[in-house]
Amino acid sequence: MLRWTRAARLFRRAERAVEPSRLSFADVVGESLAGITQRPARSVLTSVGTVLGVGTFVAVLGLTATASSQIDSRFNSLMATEVSVEDVSRERTEFVQPAFPPDAGRRVEALNGVRDAGVYWTVQLPAREAVRAAPVQAADGGGRIQVVAASPGVLEAARPSVAQGRLFDDWHDASGQRVAVLGAATAARLGITTLETRPAVFLGDEAFSVVGIIDDVQREPELLLSVVVPPKASLDIWGPPRGSAKMLVATDLGAANQVASEIPLALDPAHPDHFEAVPPPDPRSLRTEVTNDLDDLFLLLAGVCLVIGAVGIANTTLVSVMERTGEIGLRRTLGARGRHISVQFLCESSVLGTLGGLVGSALGVLGVVVVALLRDWTPVVHPLTVTSAPGVGLVTGLLAGFYPAWRASRVQPVEALRR
């Protein structure tokens, strides 16, 4: 038995007469880095192509993301926090009363995430009544001025900037005060330039004191062209709206969709189907429309840069293989196999490509930041873009290294040592 195992061991030893050569991963990396740092200037120039390619790649993707996120943020600041509620009760049942309860604004404002809410509608003045600045003066030719009954919550939600005076508030509404807020353009048409004189407007024959003039709103721009009165006074004089009322709700950022789903129940738990709350569109669906044909062109350009970079690396690595023929021959006499040589050169070109990719992605990100700063944008670069960029460099270097590495492995030691 013992003799048998000894025979087996001898047989194995005969099978592998000598322990085969090997090259550990650490040594591959060490030898490659030594090869690269031998000629630092050349190595830097070699990776310039990859730097440009990867840099363009990152910059194009980053700028696209930045530009589209700017559109998103413009969208966010206004639209994403706006919910409008329609009264659709008449579509459901023909004989139903207007569905908004009198305390609609308070009910909705009680919801979490709601900042301001209110009901508004266009007041239909009787046919021969017009808006005037004095009891006898007719409005000048430009057509009728619209009268809007809007609760104080609507004025707040519209985010107006007040040029003179103030907005009316819940007290004015609740006590049926006859007050009005004018858009600046409407005030000018009516000849009202200052509130010092305590002016009034006449809606039909009803006098309303002008308490404020607004010169801009961020939502509901038609308010600027209207005379805005409190709902209570409007109901007292002209009765319930003939058209359907609407509701304007301003929410916190991100709350709009949740709030929109809650509003119908809050308004009328018995008939939530009488209301249709319209949430803002999903920004993600907008973003896909923002892609630009130019981006494809730039990405193509980045691809061309990468190819040029790869050719550059291939060329330099090939030159370096020729130059280092003696070294290759020496390594072969020291026990290196062909594959050890090719792995070393492959590793060198990959490291060059990766370095180019790292520098390129840094420059690309820097470019995006600079452009964003110049344009006053928020720079946005997808993490995947930055993390994959060195990988792109590595693959470029690896592909570029195949041919030189193959050539290196074919170098005959006899030829190499003759030099």
- Give every CB contact of residue 46 below 8 A, 6+ residues apart in sequence: 312, 313, 316, 317, 352
Contact assessment for residue 56 and residue 364, using Cβ atoms and an 8 Å cutoff? yes
Dihedral of the alpha carbons of 166, 172, 173, 175, in degrees to the nearest 10: 180
Name the minimum Å distance from CB 356 to another protein.
22
Listing DSSP states for 364-407 in one string gives HHHHHHHHHHHHTPPP---HHHHHHHHHHHHHHHHHHHHHHHHH
Q: Which is nearer to another protein, 38 or 378 (CB)?
A: 38
Q: Which is nearer to another protein, 203 or 347 (CB)?
A: 347
Name the minimum Å distance from CB 40 to another protein.
11
Name the minimum Å distance from CB 23 to another protein.
6
Residue tagged 């009728």 (tokens): 144
- Residue ranges in contact with another protein by CB under 8 A: 16-24, 26-27, 31, 34, 37-38, 326-327, 329-337, 340, 413-414, 417-419
C-alpha to C-alpha distance for 303 and 300, rounded to whole angstroms: 5
Q: What one-letter code names the amino acid at 1? A: M
Name the minimum Å distance from CB 316 to another protein.
17
Q: Which is nearer to another protein, 232 or 331 (CB)?
A: 331
Name the minimum Å distance from CB 14 to another protein.
9
Contact assessment for residue 207 and residue 236, using Cβ atoms and an 8 Å cutoff? no
The neighbouring-strand residues paired with 249 are 83, 117
Name the minimum Å distance from CB 339 to another protein.
10
Listing DSSP states for 290-343 in one string gives G--HHHHHHHHHHHHHHHHHHHHHHHHHHHHHHHTHHHHHHHHHTT--HHHHHH
Q: Which is nearer to another protein, 40 or 142 (CB)?
A: 40
Q: Which is nearer to another protein, 11 or 95 (CB)?
A: 11
Name the minimum Å distance from CB 419 to another protein.
8
The neighbouring-strand residues paired with 123 are 147
**Number of helices (H), then strands (E), in the chain:** 16, 11
CB atoms inside a 10 Å sphere around CB 40? 9
Q: Which is nearer to another protein, 380 or 416 (CB)?
A: 416
